Amino acid sequence: MENDTTIAMQFMLKLNEYQQEIIKSMNYIRGDIHELKCELKEEIDDLRQELRDYKEENNKRWDENDKRWERNEKRWDENDKRWERNEKRWDENDKRWERNEKRWDENDKRWEKYEANRKEDKKFLIDTLINYDISISAQLGDSNAEKMRKLV
């Protein structure tokens, strides 16, 4: 029995050694798992922070884009008003052109009349001057005065 007891004791000692090694290994594994958990938690926290930063940056971009859209819409409204004003001006200018064309037509007709009247006035003036010249020549006793009177 003594032999059995020694074997049992040796067995128990060996078992105790194995248990302690297993416990040490488990403690190492627990430590490694804890380290991995901590590292993963840090990485997850970093990724969450990056995601928050990305969302914040993206929101800033959207805000900037919204502001640009507002400015652009104001500009478009201003441009639309300018276009309306310009169209009114063009309509006014078209009316002015029509009035001016009528005036030009009237002036052309007047010039035709004036040119005809001017020719008659010129002819009348020349006839008057010639008759005056003939009458003066006759008063001065020019012999050709009668011939000129007949020609005229």
DSSP state of 140: H
Q: Give percent of the chain above pLDDT 70.
A: 99
pLDDT for the residue numbered 80: 96
What pLDDT does residue 93 have? Answer: 96
d(CA 30, CA 24): 10
* pLDDT score for 121: 82
Domain extent listing, the chain = 2-151
Which segment of 1-5, 54-58, 116-120, 136-140 scores lowest on mean pLDDT? 1-5
Query: For residue 144, what are its two tokens?
Result: 């050709």
pLDDT digits (tens, 9 = 90+) for 79-135: 999 999 999 999 999 999 999 999 999 999 999 888 888 888 888 888 888 888 888
Query: What pLDDT is stored for residue 33 in this prediction?
Result: 92
Nearest-Å Rg of the Cα atoms of the chain is: 61
Q: Which residue type sits at 123?
A: K
CA–CA gap between residue 25 and residue 19 (Å, rounded): 10
pTM: 0.43
